[in-house]
Structure 1
Amino acid sequence: MSERVASLETLMHQASMTADVYLHEAIEAVEKRMGEGAAEKFPQIVAAFIQAASHDYLAAVVAGRVAPALEDIARLDVGDSMRGLGSAIEEAGQAIAAGLSS
């Protein structure tokens, strides 16, 4: 799998941009559902929204990275060597690591 990997500086910048998007979305959603001023009055709801959004994104990334590796493992025949299983597990670990770092 050939994939372009962003630099740590780019990832750090992107993380703050993503947090800003989550913040604006959270405020808009809370104000829409609970009325004007609710986001300021209940910052814990805004924080929970942001946390839920970031967890949802992380879960989607990890699932997207792990699923192909798990499919490879599922296709292994019982007669495959332990080396083949070890390789599939290593690929799954790399997919998880790649998903967590992107």
Structure 2
Amino acid sequence: MVQLVVDAPARRVHVQGREVHLTRSEFDILLALARRPGVPVAKDDLARLLGAEVPTRSTRRGIEVHLANLRRKIGDAQDHPPWIRTVRTRGYLLEREIAQIVG
């Protein structure tokens, strides 16, 4: 069941029909996860996506902050199991069949 619609060309996100405003970084992270549902994406890969040539402790921490904000904004785990999961030593993944990418 699709709960999350990611409109890539318009850079818009809807959660259960309501639009959620994300920062550029939050949107880019969500899109990267949505393009590979059920597959962990490494924190270093996400840091590179956001412009870090060589991921550092600081950029990795920045990814953690962006993920925390993203989870809060999409209402992750409020009334349902978490949509974004942390996979220890592997990265983060978006649960399968949660998101639909438009465009």
Q: Is the strand fraction higher in 1 or 2?
A: 2
Task: Report the TM-score, using the length of structure 2 for normalisation.
Answer: 0.35
Task: Report the TM-score, using the length of structure 1 for normalisation.
Answer: 0.35
Q: Relative CO higher for 1 or 2, CA cutoff 8 Å, sep ≥ 6?
A: 2
Q: Is the helix fraction higher in 1 or 2?
A: 1
Q: Which has the larger radius of gyration?
A: 1
